[in-house]
Amino acid sequence: MVSNAVLSQVEALREQLNHHNYLYHTLDQPEIADTEYDAIFQQLVRLEAEYPELVVAHSPSQRVGSVPLEGFQQVAHQLPMLSLDNAFSDADVIDFDQRVSALLDTSSSIQYACEPKIDGVAISLLYEQGQLVRAATRGDGLTGEDVTQNVRTIESVPLILRGTGFPEKLEVRGEVYISKSVFTDLNIQQVKKGDNPFANSRNAAAGSLRQLDSRLTANRRLTMYCYSVGLVEGGALPGGHFEILEQLQQWGFRINPLSKVVSGSRQCIAYYEQLGQKRADLNYDIDGIVFKVNGLDLQQQLGMRTRTPRWAVARKFPAEQGLTRLNAVEFQVGRTGAITPVARLEPVQVGGVTISNATLHNFDEIERLDVLIGDTVVIERAGDVIPKIVSVILDRRPENALPILQPETCPACGSDLEKSGSEVALRCVGGLICSAQRKESVRHFASRLAMDIDGLGEKLVGQLIEAGLVENPADLYDLEFDRLIDLERMAPLSANNLLQALNKSKLTSLQRFIYALGIQEVGEATATGLAHHFGDLQRLRIADEETLQAVPDIGPIVAEKVRHFFEQSKNNDVIDRLLESGVRWPDIAGSDQEKPLTGQTWVLTGTLVVSTRAELKRKLQSIGARVSGSVSSKTDCLVAGENAGSKLAKAQALNIKIIDEDELNRILTENKP
């Protein structure tokens, strides 16, 4: 039996440690020396060793990591983790602000929260009754990985919340990173151990978070800044973004002290410039500034696109540049046969990353740059984007510089190349006989945002194609263990893992499947639009161009590509085989097809009295309408509340149906789902 005295001693030690942890990690204002902290820590460790029954998951002693995992569990985010649109110039920031004002129908200055954009790894922390219960990576925004064990070792992440008043369920989001000083130190250690140094601190942070052995993570000294909340249940938060951050800090989260609220685009630009000056002195890497509309009610009104909110933008710092020599140009064949010239460069460090390849886009670009092999070129790298050649230093052109010749036939299969219509790209006409196109289409099919076949990366796809085991995506599901283990470097365990991953990928969603098909011009957003509109693959397969153009955001070009794709018998054969192999998806619950306002675009404007705008938007969506922020010729109906302004005038000019809030409520009641 543990005596009450021991119990309260343990609790007092934990409270002290949590308090000093908060002062040190969250507020950056320690009150005691490290040695004093260590002494208290050791006292707790000793008592917990003596009375193991007192150990609890949220004890400050439990940050050292625990037994290695076999793999990470998938976590579905209840609210998607969005990414941000980019602004590359002051003009882009002004445009953003004007767009926001127009959508909100206001002429007064918008309040923006400004924050440094940390170049780390996004994380979601879930607290229930004030205790950290789960930490997950962003993944593709909808599904991430459970990295709770690893995140528990990060000292700036509270294991239990301080104070009171927090919601029963609270999801906090932010960026995990490694500070510059720790990063330098870590790389010295890596080299000493004979391991490769990390290319940059973001890779180091990402790698550390994905360790199966959390004891290794604990040694990496990760830290985190929180920048928003996700799910909130059983409690309320303040009505402004910045005010929420202040509240989070009270509960123990580390918040960037440079965050600030400003008014209008001019002050946003000034903040960006000030931070640009300070950038080099910060102890962490930032790649830009994030501007967020501060009012949560306004954020709600603005809503989001597929993956990005309309209420925020990231102003990126200018790309970093370097000088190097162009050694050669090779030609890559893409999924749809487009030939892309790729520059092979003398390796050079740009912004802490070694660059040895850059894209040259197409032959028009080569001509525009007037670049020759052997030239000294300026290359630029902006964040994640593939580096590109921006100009040539003509003064340094060597005498033996050579012109870059257009290939006459496909470098992969020898087929003819053609340039169709207004397209700039040169394309291989080989289609499925071209191994490069086959490889790219299978790789795309397996990729994370498509069928998400774990472990089926570029190398393995190449092997499967070269061995003749796979020609198109449908062949993947016919792969057999005995053939797989004949491949070079394929152990029985990996073969089994691949087969399991293939099996698992069969249960997907209609939008992923459509995206995976790799139809020209059909990216993720278009695939989602098609899935929601048609709700069913068969309907999409027989749709004519006119029907396709009724889908929001699909114009004649995309409609033509989609119809063309589904007219090809070889594509239909592949699709039929995929379905026969068991590729399937849940029915889209009451798809748009059966709803009263399917295919219609509605706009809400003015002051709505009976319900909030967000509520009406949700109700309209539930009966199939798309609710847009602006009036255009595609708008079917405008709901005008009191004091409606420019949108009402525009709708009148375009002869669009206009109704008031009462009329809308009548329609909603009549059509209740």
Q: Which lies closer to ligand IVH via its Cβ, residue 284 or residue 331?
A: 284
* 228 contacts ligand IVH (rule: CB under 6 A): yes
> Among this protein's residues, is 193 annotated catalytic?
no
Q: Which lies closer to ligand IVH via its Cβ, residue 83 or residue 494?
A: 83
Q: Which amino acid is at 415?
A: S
What is the closest distance, in whole angstroms, from the C-beta atom of residue 114 to ligand IVH in the complex? Answer: 9
Q: Tell me which of 72, 96, 198, 227 binds ligand IVH, using CB under 6 A.
A: 227
* 117 contacts ligand IVH (rule: CB under 6 A): yes
Specify which residues 260 forms β-bridges with. 114
Q: Which lies closer to ligand IVH via its Cβ, residue 85 or residue 560?
A: 85
CA-based nearest residue to 127, from 174, 75, 170, 166 = 170
In three-state form (DSSP H/G/I as H, E/B as E, the rest C), the secondary structure along 480-526 is CHHHHCCCCCCCHHHHHHHHHHHHHHCECCHHHHHHHCCCCCCCHHH
Q: Which amino acid is at 640?
A: A
What is the closest distance, in whole angstroms, from the C-beta atom of residue 256 to ligand IVH in the complex? Answer: 7
Instruction: Report 309-348 residues binding ligand IVH (CB under 6 A).
Output: 309, 312, 314
What secondary structure letter does DSSP report for 24?
I
Helix (H, G, I), strand (E, B) or coil at 53: helix
What is the closest distance, in whole angstroms, from the C-beta atom of residue 357 to ligand IVH in the complex? Answer: 24
Q: Which lies closer to ligand IVH via its Cβ, residue 115 or residue 475?
A: 115
Q: Which amino acid is at 468?
A: G
In three-state form (DSSP H/G/I as H, E/B as E, the rest C), the secondary structure along 286-329 is EEEEEEEECEHHHHHHHCECCCCECCEEEEECCCEEEEEEEEEE
Q: Which lies closer to ligand IVH via its Cβ, residue 226 or residue 658?
A: 226
Q: Which lies closer to ligand IVH via its Cβ, residue 83 or residue 549?
A: 83
What is the closest distance, in whole angstroms, from the C-beta atom of residue 239 to ligand IVH in the complex? Answer: 17
CB atoms within 10 A of CB 479: 16
What is the closest distance, in whole angstroms, from the C-beta atom of residue 292 to ligand IVH in the complex? Answer: 7
Number of residues that bind ligand IVH (CB under 6 A): 15
Q: Which stretch binds ligand IVH (CB under 6 A): 77-85, 231-239, 415-423, 637-645?
A: 77-85
Q: Tell me which of 118, 160, 426, 667 binds ligand IVH, using CB under 6 A.
A: 118
Kind and range of the H or E run holding 183:
helix 180-192
Dihedral, CA of residue 389, residue 390, residue 395 and residue 398, to nearest 10: 10
Q: Which lies closer to ligand IVH via its Cβ, residue 229 or residue 498?
A: 229
* Encoded tokens for 369: 């740059």
Instruction: Report 500-519 residues binding ligand IVH (CB under 6 A).
Output: none
> Distance from CA of residue 597 to its chain's centroid?
31
What is the closest distance, in whole angstroms, from the C-beta atom of residue 157 to ligand IVH in the complex? Answer: 16
Q: Per-residue string for binding with ligand IVH, 254-273, x by CB under 6 A?
A: --------------------
Q: Which lies closer to ligand IVH via its Cβ, residue 314 or residue 620?
A: 314
Cα gap 397→403, rounded to integer Å? 12
* 291 contacts ligand IVH (rule: CB under 6 A): no
Rounded to 5°, angle at Cα 83 from 81 and 89: 160
Q: Tell me the DSSP string of 542-598.
A: T--HHHHHTSTT--HHHHHHHHHHHH-HHHHHHHHHHHHTT-B-PPPTT-GGGSTTT
With b meaning 16 or more CB within 10 Å and e meaning fewer, what string describes 503-526? eebeebbbbbbbbbbbbeebebeb
Instruction: Report 42-61 residues binding ligand IVH (CB under 6 A).
Output: none
Q: Which lies closer to ligand IVH via its Cβ, residue 177 or residue 602?
A: 177
Cα gap 25→19, rounded to integer Å? 10
What is the closest distance, in whole angstroms, from the C-beta atom of residue 227 to ligand IVH in the complex? Answer: 4
Q: Per-residue string for binding with ligand IVH, 188-217, x by CB under 6 A?
A: ------------------------------
* Annotated active-site residue in 117, 388, 617, 647: 117
What is the closest distance, in whole angstroms, from the C-beta atom of residue 119 to ligand IVH in the complex? Answer: 7
Q: Tell me which of 48, 97, 115, 285 binds ligand IVH, using CB under 6 A.
A: 115
Specify which residues 320 forms β-bridges with. 381
* 83 contacts ligand IVH (rule: CB under 6 A): yes
Q: Which lies closer to ligand IVH via its Cβ, residue 227 or residue 271?
A: 227
Q: Pairing between strand 111-118 and 286-293?
A: antiparallel
Cα gap 443→439, rounded to integer Å? 6
* 82 contacts ligand IVH (rule: CB under 6 A): yes
Q: Per-residue string for binding with ligand IVH, 586-625, x by CB under 6 A?
A: ----------------------------------------
Contact criterion met (CB below 8 Å) for 290 and 259 = no
What is the closest distance, in whole angstroms, from the C-beta atom of residue 230 to ligand IVH in the complex? Answer: 10
Q: Which stretch binds ligand IVH (CB under 6 A): 116-124, 156-164, 389-397, 525-533?
A: 116-124
Cα gap 664→41, rounded to integer Å? 63
Which residues, 6+ apart, have CB-to-CB distance to 547 below 8 Å?
none
Q: Which lies closer to ligand IVH via its Cβ, residue 499 or residue 525?
A: 525
Instruction: Report 123-142 residues binding ligand IVH (CB under 6 A).
Output: 138
* Encoded tokens for 542: 């027989």
Contact criterion met (CB below 8 Å) for 166 and 36 = no
CA-based nearest residue to 583, from 506, 483, 524, 641 = 506
Kind and range of the H or E run holding 185:
helix 180-192
Q: Per-residue string for binding with ligand IVH, 271-290, x by CB under 6 A?
A: -------------------x
What is the closest distance, in whole angstroms, from the C-beta atom of residue 174 to ligand IVH in the complex? Answer: 8
Counts of helices then strands in the chain (DSSP H, E): 25, 22
What is the closest distance, in whole angstroms, from the C-beta atom of residue 562 to ligand IVH in the complex? Answer: 29
Residue nearest to ligand IVH (CB): 122
Q: Which stretch binds ligand IVH (CB under 6 A): 18-26, 38-46, 56-64, 110-118?
A: 110-118
Q: Which lies closer to ligand IVH via its Cβ, residue 6 or residue 304?
A: 304
Q: Which amino acid is at 410?
A: C
* 175 contacts ligand IVH (rule: CB under 6 A): yes
Cα gap 427→424, rounded to integer Å? 9
What is the closest distance, in whole angstroms, from the C-beta atom of residue 197 to ligand IVH in the complex? Answer: 24
* Encoded tokens for 478: 């016919």
* Encoded tokens for 133: 């219960």
Binding site for ligand IVH (CB under 6 A): 82-84, 115, 117-118, 122, 138, 175, 227-228, 290, 309, 312, 314
Active centre residues (catalytic)? 117
